A and B are shown apart, each in its own frame.
Chain A
Amino acid sequence: MPDGEILGVLALTWQAAVMLGLGGLLIYLGIARQVEPVLLVPIGTGIILANIPLGGVTGAEGFLGVLKRAGIDTELFPLLIFIGVGAMIDFGSLLERPYTVFLGAAAQFGIFGTFFLAYLVGEGGLRLFDFTFRDAVSIGIIGSADGPTSIYVATVLGTRYAAAIVVAAYSYMALVPIIQPPIMRALTTHAERRVVMPARARRVSPRTRVLFPVVTILVTGLIAPKATPLIGTLMFGNLLRESGVLERLSLAAQNEMANIVTILLGLTVGGMMAAEDFLRPETIMIYVMGVVAFAVGTAAGVVFGKAMYVASGRKINPLIGAAGISAFPMAARVVQKVGLEANPHNHLIMHAAGANTAGQIASVVAGGAVLMLVPFFA
């Protein structure tokens, strides 16, 4: 038996060494810089485990291989995560300010605009990269700024680039405070950013809050049925929260379940990043497209916000449109910060939270919409 099959170090390729370095970098960013540590530490560890030569953890019998088959290939992990996410989200600010729902819808142009670009540089036009229609749609879904939706859609569409797409989606989520502000400032005037919005909103009855998840499942499921698994789990989690009688289950979904699945998901996603699949020009392009997706989504939200600013007689601050991308709650905080820079007395957080939670629902609907449409176009 050759030495290389006994000692891992003798079988180490430069590609695997690069991936080990990348895994180490993600762990460093998570712990030392506290950049999305909940995700980056498990993903970084998964990358290291997957790229240790002869380690065998990602093979059919390896534990990361088993986790991938059990949780990613079956689409189970993102759905379980969504129960926890639904239990964590308070949709009150959206129900109090229903108009913000359209800002969430507009920001989903990040998905479709990025799809268009990915398809253009892929087999749809320039053929610079090996992106099929399905790959382009999966890359576009990074613009949902929503990890579980990205994993779900990429897995269902069977793209080869699922790991890169998921890592890009989660990485850029952490970079929302850096990506969004320059776009928001570039697309708005100082006067627009200064617009003060009233803190008071219409009252929402507790019954409406309880009925909201059920109505959302029905409406979304009946129009975009492919979104049913995602919206169903998200809204089931929210029903646990709002029912008022299931606090124990709601807390379990928010904490124990979400935490356990996050650990398993992070490790498994990291485990999908084997050197031979990851170090390709297409992967680098996916990272570039990820920035484009977040930027286009932000721009679309702000431009729609400007349209609402004009239509409302200058009562709506267009900045809140940037929160329409679903990166929750980071995007809403960014809006609050940029708004305060322009006017120290302007608190936009509740309005932005409305757009942000709308973006969460809109990204799931967009995920369902693309799954529904792909068979007709691909």
Chain B
Amino acid sequence: MLGAFWFVLAGMGIVFLTLGVLVLAMSALNRWLGAAREAGRREAGAGTAGQGNA
């Protein structure tokens, strides 16, 4: 039964580890893509402003 106990522990550990890494990866990706989108928007805004001034 001790083996079964370690099996349970290892199984739950793998589940939490995998999902933890997944959530970290997705949060980082979402932040990075959000920042890239924001930078793109700022760039587009600056370009439009320049044209307006001309």
Determine the main DSSP class of A at the interface with B: helix
Task: Tell me the A200-219 residues at the B interface (CB within 8 Å).
Answer: 202-205, 207-208, 211-212, 215-216, 219
> Within the assembled complex, what's the spacing in Å between the Cα atoms of A203 and B37?
12
Count residues on chain B whose CB falls below 8 Å from chain A CBs: 28
- CB–CB A101/B23 < 8 A: yes
Q: What is the 8 Å Cβ interface bit string for chain A, positions 78-102, against chain B (1 contact, 0 not)?
A: 0000000000000000010011011
Q: What is the 8 Å Cβ interface bit string for chain B, positions 9-34, against chain A (1 contact, 0 not)?
A: 01110111111111101110110011
Contacts of B15 in A (CB 8 A): 105, 108, 362, 365-366, 369
Contacts of A95 in B (CB 8 A): 26, 30
> Within the assembled complex, what's the spacing in Å between the Cα atoms of A366 and B17?
11
* A152: Cβ under 8 A from any B Cβ: no
Task: Tell me the A95-154 residues at the B interface (CB within 8 Å).
Answer: 95, 98-99, 101-102, 104-105, 108-109, 111-113, 115-116, 119-120, 124-125, 133, 136
Residue of B nearest to A95 (CB): B26
- CB–CB B16/A102 < 8 A: yes
- CB–CB A365/B18 < 8 A: yes
- CB–CB B18/A219 < 8 A: yes
Contacts of B37 in A (CB 8 A): 205
Contacts of A133 in B (CB 8 A): 4
* A372: Cβ under 8 A from any B Cβ: yes
* B3: Cβ under 8 A from any A Cβ: yes
> Within the assembled complex, what's the spacing in Å between the Cα atoms of A139 and B22?
27
- CB–CB A223/B18 < 8 A: yes
> Within the assembled complex, what's the spacing in Å between the Cα atoms of A113 and B9?
10
A-side residues, CB < 8 A to B, are 95, 98-99, 101-102, 104-105, 108-109, 111-113, 115-116, 119-120, 124-125, 133, 136, 202-205, 207-208, 211-212, 215-216, 219-220, 223-224, 358, 361-362, 365-366, 368-370, 372-373, 377
Q: List 15 A-B contacts (CB under 8 A).
A: A95-B26, A102-B20, A102-B23, A105-B15, A105-B19, A108-B12, A112-B7, A136-B4, A202-B30, A207-B33, A208-B33, A211-B29, A216-B22, A369-B11, A370-B11
